[in-house]
Structures are given as structure tokens and as C-alpha cells.
Structure 1
Amino acid sequence: MKTDVSMPKEINIGLVLKKRNYMILCGLLFLVMITLITLIGPFIVPNDPYTANMSERLAGPSLTYPLGTDHMGRCIFSRIIIGSQTTLGITGLVVATVIGIGIPVGLVTGYIGGRIDSVVMRLADGMLALPEFILAIAIAGFLGPSLTNLMISIVFVKWIGYTRVVRGIVISERNKDYVSAAKVSGSSHFKIIRKHMLPQIISPVLVLAALDIGKVILIISSLSYLGLGAQPPAPEWGAMLNDGRPYFQTVPELMIYPGLAIFFVVLSLNLIGEGLRDRLDVKRQ
């Protein structure tokens, strides 16, 4: 008598897919809300985030100041809303730049191999010897505190991960039968990379980017907290955490509000990234 064991597997896969879809949906919902607030922020803020009013210094929540004021009398709510444009805008630009560098380098080194691959990989291995956050601090400190130098330092340490992922996929695919058939049929190297290699890396790169955006936000906020990123009076979330540090015991809201903003953005992106990664794994299984 044969026992049918396929049903429990199908049920388990269905439950996992449903759970991952729920994670992706929750993450997207959070992200859409945050994006809408960021886009319409300049039209809904009740006060100028740059204007200091020492007579209203460290004021509590009110109709004029929904979340109170900071140590310079500036509206915390307005600074968080406008600061989202700085934090998320820099993050998006950094991730786009890293992808724009990592994908071509990974495709070329993985497909061509040889000396180019050896040189690039030895450089990457040397950079990976240090934690990326420590390396970003060293580069940002050497270049000087500014948002531009902050972006350069993060791009410099982040492109390696994308290059290694893309290179690994290309190396595993370049000797397969369909690639050999394309070469025999007379397809150029560029056509093979574009039609056969590039589609293979889209899903892994998207998952990596979704998980990496949260890390980039944390690095940007951390470097700004250390004074290596946005400079006063720029309303950036990490810089706001640094500004509120001396008042943490007396007015903890100065650090709690920007900290919660960072938390919800990172949470939404991690939900999306984890859901996409596990969903793709289930499909492979």
C-alpha cells in the first residue's frame, strides 16, 4: 500500500508562501505610507524645520508643534518629515550607485575571468578584511564630514557585496549547455551577457538590495550621529539623534522620535527583503 506524502509538502509550501506574502504586504504598506509622507512632506509641515526659536526651546507637544521642539526651538515633527527626504534620498542614490557599479563589474569579472577577475577579487578580499562600517568611518573621516563624502564612503564599501553575488551566479551559469549553444550559434559575448546572464541575476540582486537598503539607512544615520554626515542645521535623522544625545535623560523624545522613524523604515524594508528571499527559495524547492 502506497502512502501519499505529497500533500503535507504542498500544504507546508502553501503556508510558507502565504506567510511570506503577508510579510511582503506589510512591508510594502509601511513603505508606501512612508514614501507618501516623504513626497508630500513640504506641503504638510506646520513649521519651518530650519527656523530656531529659543523662546520655545524644549517645548512639549501642542497644536503648533505636534511633537514639541528641540534644544533650538525647532519643530521636531517638521524636521522628521523633511529629514526623511534627506535620509531616504541619500539611501536610494547610494543603493542605485552601488547596483550600477556592482552588476557590470560582477558580470565582466565572472564571464571573462582570468587576470581581471583575480585583480578585482583580491581587491575585494582585502577590503572585506575590515568590517564595512569601520571602513566607512575611516573613509568618511579621511574625506571630511559632508553628505557627499558620506555617500562616497558607503558606495566604496558596498559595491563589493553586489559584485561577488553577481560574479558567483555568472560563474555557475557560463559553462551550462544553453550558454555553449548560444556561443555555437554565433551570439556575441555582449548578447550572451544581456540575454542569458542578466536575467539570472535580477531576482538575487533585488532581494539583496531590499535587505541592504535598511543597512544603508543605519550606516547613514550612524555616521551622521558621529558627525561625519549631515551637518547642522540639516534635518537628517542620524544628525537629529546626535543633537538630542545631551538631553536624553531630561527630554528623551529628542532621540525617540527620529529613532522610531529609522526603526519603521528599516523594519518595512527587512520584511520585504525577507519575504522575497524566502519566497524565491520556496519556488526553487
Structure 2
Amino acid sequence: MNVNVSTVFRQSPIRRNTWRSMLRDPMTALGTGILAIIILLTLIGPFIVPNDSLAVKMSERLQSPSWQYPLGTDHLGRCIFSRLVAGAKTTLGISAFVIISVTLIGIPVGLLSGYVGGRVDALLMRLVDGVGALPEFILAIAISGFLGPSLTNLMLSIVLVKWIGYARVVRSIVLSEREKEYVLAARVAGCSTWTVLWRHLLPQIISPVVVLAALDIGKIILIISALSYLGLGAQPSAPEWGAMLNDGRPYFQTVPELMIYPGVAIMLVVVSCNLISDGLRHILDVRSR
């Protein structure tokens, strides 16, 4: 039986009026606006930055803000504003990749485990329990340290620890939905397992997964920045907010702006994602669904 992708979203609680309701809420609109501005700066950044983010000019090190350097320069004479804009592309890009990856892993695992049950559920849940036995951040540090410091290994380590939460959320929803009348009616009508999962159960999990993803973006950015701060993510010269925090640490007493600017950037993105997540949770009313 052929299934149209648009059918899933027509049946999902996420509709056009959801976004209108979000914009009516002041705090959610504020978070959406902040995130939109940051994304816009990331997209047009290469056209507006005044300097090369990687250019080292020791004669210009630790300069105060000026027309040439809007936020001053760091300990190597690099333009802080240019590095912040370039770092947004790295930080947000990694976050987007991780969110997409964990949903592509967690949703199928949760659907299969919750609907099929039996040995399949037991096997998948033992895998989930085993991976989730340690705190996410500690496990991410261990995996990154084992694989070696690089952005690729950083992304892989976060994906390996974050998909667990999505699998658990999806499984719990499927367990509560699979015995309801509309699912039983689909089975009686002769629908295949794939059709039941895709057309009837998947629309029910979109709302909570979207809320969880919006909240997780902020957490993932914090993990990325923390691992880069520890030297397990972006390596020297690469513009990334966590790495910029690490670079500015020795100069915190004399030039605190080197840590304040990337710290504020991280805070703005995390706060905006949390505001959007709260707005989505209230508007979609995930618990009642």
C-alpha cells in the first residue's frame, strides 16, 4: 500500500495554526525571533564580516572594539566578531546534524520496539538501557576521548548518546497507542505493519518529538561547547564558540570579553531554544495527546 508523506503531516497535531499560536505568545515569539536573527547572521555572515576569521595579526592582538574590529581582537589578533559569526555556522550546523541523526535513529527504534514487542523489544531496550547507564555528558567525553579530538568524532559521540532519549519517548507513546481502537481497526482492515506504523502511529509521536528536539538543541550546543572547551571538539584556529571560550580562558582576568562574547552567544541560542520548546509544549499539549 502506497503511503504519501504529506498524509503523516496532515494527520499530525502540528498544523499551520500551531505556528500562529507560537507567535502570539510573547516569550515564544521572543525565542523564535532571537534564533531567526542568529540563523540569518549565520547565512549572510560571509558577506558581512569585516575580516577573515582565521587571519592572524600579532601586531593587532587584544585590540579594543573599533570600526575595523567591532568586538575587538583576540590574543592572536583575529577579529572576534568575524569568528563569532563563522563559529555560529559550525556550532549550529553540528547541532542540526546531531538532531537529524538522533531522530532518524531513535524514531525507528522506538516504533519497532514498542509495536512489535516481545524479544525485539527486550533486545532493543537492553541496548538502550546499557548505553544509557552513564550520564550523557560523561559518556560523550569518554567516546570523544577514545575516538580522538575532531569535529567528526564530536558529532559521532553526541549522536551515540542522544538517540536513547528519543527511542524511549517514542516507545512509550507507541505502547500506549497500539492497543487503541483505531490501531486495532487498521489491523482488522488488513493494513500491514509498515502501514500501521507510518500512517497511524507516526503522526502521534511527531508532537512530542518536535518538542524534545527543540529542547535538545540547547543541550546539544552546551555539550558541543563543553567538549570543545575541553579540547575534544574543534581544534585550534577553527572558529567554534566552545573553542573560543577555551582560547579566552588564560586571559579572563585581563580581557574577559574573550570569554564573555562566545558565552553570551551560546546563552542566547540555548535560551531561545528553551523558549521555543516551552511554547511548543504548551500549544501542542503533548501530555493530553
The residue that corresponds to 1:34 in the other structure is: 38
Distance in 2, matches of 1:21 and 1:201, equals: 24
Larger radius of gyration: 1
Are the aligned partners of 1:20 and 1:279 in contact in 2 as well (CA < 8 Å)?
no
Aligned residues: 269
CA shift at 1:280, angstroms?
A: 2.5
The residue that corresponds to 1:246 in the other structure is: 250
The residue that corresponds to 1:204 in the other structure is: 208
The residue that corresponds to 1:278 in the other structure is: 282
Q: 1:94-153, CA deviations, whole angstroms, 9 ceiling, x for partnerless residues?
A: 110001111111111111011111111112112222110000000000000000000000
1:25 partnered with 2:29: yes
Q: Secondary structure at the match of 2:183?
A: helix
CA shift at 1:50, angstroms?
A: 0.3
Match of 2:151 among 144, 147, 161: 147
1:127 partnered with 2:131: yes
1:44 partnered with 2:27: no
Match of 2:91 among 78, 87, 93: 87
Pick closer, same or farther for the CA change 1:18–1:131 going to 2, 3 Å.
closer
Letter in 2 for 1:209: A
Distance in 2, matches of 1:185 and 1:281, equals: 30
The residue that corresponds to 2:272 in the other structure is: 268
The residue that corresponds to 1:181 in the other structure is: 185
- Unaligned residue ranges in structure 2 (runs of 5+): 1-20
Letter in 1 for 2:119: R
Match of 2:199 among 195, 198, 213: 195
Q: Secondary structure at the match of 1:265?
A: helix
Letter in 1 for 2:53: P
1:106 partnered with 2:110: yes
Are the aligned partners of 1:20 and 1:276 in contact in 2 as well (CA < 8 Å)?
no
Within-5 A mapping of 1:4-19: none
Q: Secondary structure at the match of 1:284?
A: coil
Are the aligned partners of 1:20 and 1:278 in contact in 2 as well (CA < 8 Å)?
no
Identity of aligned residues (%): 69
1:235 partnered with 2:239: yes
Letter in 1 for 2:273: L
Distance in 2, matches of 1:122 and 1:142, equals: 23
Letter in 1 for 2:254: T
CA shift at 1:197, angstroms?
A: 0.3
Distance in 2, matches of 1:83 and 1:251, equals: 20
Letter in 2 for 1:118: A
The residue that corresponds to 1:171 in the other structure is: 175
- Unaligned residue ranges in structure 1 (runs of 5+): 1-16
Letter in 2 for 1:114: G
CA shift at 1:22, angstroms?
A: 2.0
Letter in 2 for 1:135: L
The residue that corresponds to 2:16 in the other structure is: none
Q: 1:213-253, CA deviations, whole angstroms, 9 ceiling, x for partnerless residues?
A: 00000000000000000001000000000000000000000
